[in-house]
């Protein structure tokens, strides 16, 4: 969970369930999805909007990355 917070803490809040901690819940920060000017350093996880001058986080790429971080541990990723 600390790796998730390090990578995506600026975009989301992370919560582990109970004592077992077998589930991590992610709540995306709404302000994180407001269009921002394009920056090359953030292009990997960005999706262009507004003619390409603005970007928003690419949630699909981030979910795939999160799944990859837990390789061998992640059984399921569900979006609700």
CA dist 49 → 17, 30, 31, 53, 65 (Å): 35, 17, 16, 7, 21
pTM score, whole prediction:
0.72
pLDDT tens-digit series, residues 53-70: 899 999 888 888 888 877
DSSP assignment string, the chain = -HHHHHHHTTTEEEEE-TTT---EEEEE-GGGGS-EE--GGGGGGEEEEGGGTEEEE-HHHHHHHHHHHTTTT-------
pLDDT tens-digit series, residues 7-45: 889 888 988 877 666 778 888 899 988 999 988 877 778
Per-residue model confidence (pLDDT) at position 56: 92
Per-residue model confidence (pLDDT) at position 3: 86
């Amino acid at each position: 969970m600390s790796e998730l917070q390090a990578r995506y803490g600026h975009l989301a809040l992370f919560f582990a369930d109970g004592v077992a901690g077998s589930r991590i819940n992610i709540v995306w920060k709404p302000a994180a999805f407001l269009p921002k000017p394009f920056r090359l350093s953030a292009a990997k996880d960005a999706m262009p909007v507004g003619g390409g001058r603005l970007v928003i986080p690419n949630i699909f790429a981030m979910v795939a990355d999160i799944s990859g971080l837990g390789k061998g541990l992640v059984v399921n990723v569900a979006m609700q």
